[in-house]
Structure 1
Amino acid sequence: MARTGRPRAELTLTDDERDQLERWARRRRSSQALALRCRIVLACAEGLSNKEVAGRVGASLPTVGKWRRRFLESRLDGLSDEPRPGRPATITDRMVEDLLVATLEETPRNATHWSRRLMAERTGISESSVGRIWRAFNLRPHREDGFRLSNDPLFVDKVHDVVGLYLDPPESAVVLCVDEKSRIQALQRSQPALPMMPGMPERRTHDYVRHGTTSLFAAMNVADGTVISATHRRHRAAEFVSFLGKIDAEVPDGLDVHVVCDNYGTHKTPSVNAWLERHPRFRMHFTPTYSSWLNQVERLFAEITRQMLQRGDHRSVQALERDVREWVRIWNENPRPFKWNKTADQILSSLARFLQRTTGI
């Protein structure tokens, strides 16, 4: 019976085209759409009809006809997707690169850091697009962080010593993180605070009257989070020796006491050393210089600042000291030790990576 309908265009392949189509069809990284198109063209090259090709590859007749026609018109290039309709992109790759280089390597003429508005003026890109590009590359010019590198020649040894106490404390001993939060101010706001209301935060005046200062001496047990504390109006070696005496009185006999503290001058005076000689169960472990982050009691000071001191209103030093003692008492009712996770080697590796990024050392 004679064939009816539109005659089918014959499709023949060169050896190079066949080889390329077969590679695209079986490559794992090829898109499924491209692989299907390659199988359609290969089947058409065998002389099969569009209906037979559709049955073999699992595609519709219009799809088979479309890619047969596209291949005959443009060969391998015809298998790629055509440009989609819509407005062409107005921000080119070169513009994005220029914005990123400016963000990382330049500063604006009249400011210390870039804002969206300043970068939009610099590049001609809209402020919203500047924000999207910064978010895509995780850049936040409005934020900053501080750091201070230790110059302690025994830095590595001290890190291993202190972190070793946290992760593997000695037996029959207690490890205490000790420090002083000095010059806590008793501040009285000039006017009473306005309480929080729906849609309105608490409001406090910016000005205040000073009524003196005190210092909080604290020793936090790293095992259970309990705190031994004392308040003193002055911050000298005599007060530190007195606080060591309080620790000695409250820690049960028969336990060694390992004290982690910083390099403040009052911790190393002759009077302190003489007291330590008379109390051999006390052993001092000093953190490296500029490394207060190694002392866990600093985290405790952050808690008391956030929870009580930051919004406090005290009309006398006595009232301030009373509130501080009450805060510590309530803390000890349900103490929460801070869990230390990083090993000394992990800390040193992290610092090494930071030095590599910042100084190239």
Structure 2
Amino acid sequence: MNLTKAEIVELRQQADGRSVRADLARRARLILLLAEGLTWSAIRAKLDCNDSYIALWSKRFAADRLAGLFSRHAGRQRYKVTDRLEARVLARTTKHKPADGSTHWSTRKLAAELGGDISHMTVSWLNQVELWFTKIKRDVIARGVFTSVPDLKRKLMRYIRKYNEQPKSVKWKYFDPTRRITPDSIITVH
């Protein structure tokens, strides 16, 4: 197996790296051993693996080079949140209370209420988006003065670029019930 100098460097870093996942390091060692010309028998003994492991990863490396060494899980198809589904989530949370008598929706309760059309993870994500837009509204729009739509756009983009220089994760803490977001406090921009 012929390797470029860059591939050898990358494979050695993966094989010897302390912060590299063990499965990826093992695959990198496999490719390096194959490149050195070791037999499958010798590789099986060194890596404690079988012929199907060697065949799988050498074939993937031959086809996709370094990218081929990463695991591929079939998983499920990428989930797309449609405008209609987002509207259903917002309508349910703003116009209905949870059936169990609680004061707020949890992501799991809301997902179950919507009949399995959406996962609870898609619901922390829509919430994250809502929190981001609330932050923009509070920091830029609420007290801003805009001379035109392009002026608004320019100021929003400046804020976003500056924020992205040192982004902060959203913290899931809630202390002040007087600062609750209500449907009438959300603005609509067309």
TM-score of the superposed pair, with normalisation by structure 2: 0.46
Tell which structure's C-alpha radius of gyration is larger. Answer: 1
Larger strand proportion of the pair: 1
User: Normalising by the residue count of structure 1, what TM-score does the alignment of the two structures yield?
Assistant: 0.27
Relative contact order: is structure 1 or structure 2 higher (C-alpha 8 Å, sep ≥ 6)?
1
